[in-house]
């Protein structure tokens, strides 16, 4: 919608001073889009794919810009490789290079690291960080909460509804809790016990349970409860609230909750 590909059911938005409904053509000249699914030409080389997008955007004398992007994305030595033969991480870097060939001021990335190996994922984020430092505004959708920790502003959504919209620090501080992480031999039994016998909110994460407590003074309450029901406490630690904790908390608190409507404006020259 923000790329001007589909019309909103209601309302409008403002990007770089252009009205989304009335000045779509002007917006498209200033933005770049990277889709979740790899959509470049598998039977073209890296060089040829970038050249195609340069011509698509009317970029003349693109070769110097292409060389800069290949160096920037660490793809120079692979430039003659067919796109279809690249790894998942290299495909995403090529797609990013194609997205940047016309020097957009805003780029939209749709879950860019889904299915990408950890090393390539880390490398991809380094590249995005450099773009951000150069003043490019980056709008990203991601299912990974650890990635969202990097953002300046987060909009948490569920079923198409906006739940929260603020900085990561403000969102986590708003929960006003600390997390007691525990490990026991029977996590499901422990989880049910805490839910039935206390007012603390607990969340299952793999082989651990996160319990949202008010402060460290609540730890003895949990320890006493587990001892009373002969539940072995194998490990425990206090840790800060994570974005994942907050997201689950908000859904449990009120699954139908929606945030107040906020204006969406992406200002020119500000990297967010």
Q: What CATH number does residue 116 fall under?
A: 3.40.50.300
Residue 223 is part of which domain span?
A: 176-240
Which residues, 6+ apart, have CB-to-CB distance to 122 below 8 Å?
none
pTM of this prediction?
0.79
Does 127 share its domain with 192? no
For residue 215, the model assigns a pLDDT of 94
For the segment 131-143, the average pLDDT, to the nearest whole number, is 90
Average pLDDT of every residue of the chain: 88
Structural domains of the chain, count: 2
Q: Assess whether 114 and 208 both reside in one domain.
A: no
CB 222 within 8 A of CB 180: yes
Query: 91: Cβ–Cβ under 8 A, 6 or more apart, which residues?
Result: 38, 40, 83
Mean pLDDT computed over 226-237: 95
Co-location of 58 and 117 in the same domain:
yes
Indicate if the pLDDT at residue 98 is higher than 50: yes
Residue 33 pairs in a beta bridge with: 108
In a domain, 187, yes or no: yes
3-class SS of residue 105: coil
> pLDDT per residue over 179-207, tens digit each?
999 999 999 999 999 999 999 999 999 89
Are residues 124 and 27 part of one domain? Answer: yes
Q: Is the same domain home to 23 and 129?
A: yes
Q: Is residue 64 part of a domain?
A: yes
> Same structural domain for residues 126 and 195?
no
Q: Indicate which CATH number applies to the domain containing 197.
A: 3.30.70.980
Same domain? For 198 and 134 the reply is no
- Report if residue 158 sits inside a domain: no
For residue 29, what pLDDT band results from cuts at 50, 70 and 90?
Answer: confident
């Amino acid at each position: 919608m923000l790329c001007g590909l589909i019309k909103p059911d209601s309302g409008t938005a403002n990007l770089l001073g252009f009205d989304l409904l009335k000045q779509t053509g002007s917006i498209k000249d200033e933005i770049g889009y990277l889709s979740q699914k790899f959509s470049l030409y598998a039977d073209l080389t890296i060089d040829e794919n970038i050249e195609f997008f340069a011509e698509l955007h009317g970029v003349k004398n693109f070769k110097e810009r292409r060389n800069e992007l290949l160096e920037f994305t660490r793809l120079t030595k692979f430039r003659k490789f067919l796109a279809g033969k690249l790894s998942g991480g290299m495909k995403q870097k090529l797609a990013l290079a194609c997205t940047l060939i016309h020097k957009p001021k805003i780029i939209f990335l749709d879950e860019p690291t889904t299915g990408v190996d950890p090393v390539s994922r880390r490398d991809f984020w380094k590249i995005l960080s450099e773009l951000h430092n150069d003043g490019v505004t980056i709008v990203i959708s991601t299912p990974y909460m650890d990635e969202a920790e990097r953002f300046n502003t987060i909009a948490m959504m569920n079923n198409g509804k906006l739940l929260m919209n603020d900085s990561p620090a403000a969102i986590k501080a708003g929960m006003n809790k600390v997390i007691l992480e525990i490990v026991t031999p029977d996590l499901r039994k422990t989880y049910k016990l805490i839910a039935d016998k206390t007012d603390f909110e607990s969340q299952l994460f793999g082989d651990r349970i996160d319990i949202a407590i008010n402060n460290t003074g609540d730890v003895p309450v949990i320890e006493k409860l587990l001892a009373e029901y002969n539940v072995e406490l194998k490990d425990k630690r206090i840790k800060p609230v994570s974005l994942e904790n907050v997201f689950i908390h908000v859904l449990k608190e009120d699954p139908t909750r929606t945030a107040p409507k906020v204006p969406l404006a992406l200002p020119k020259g500000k990297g967010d």
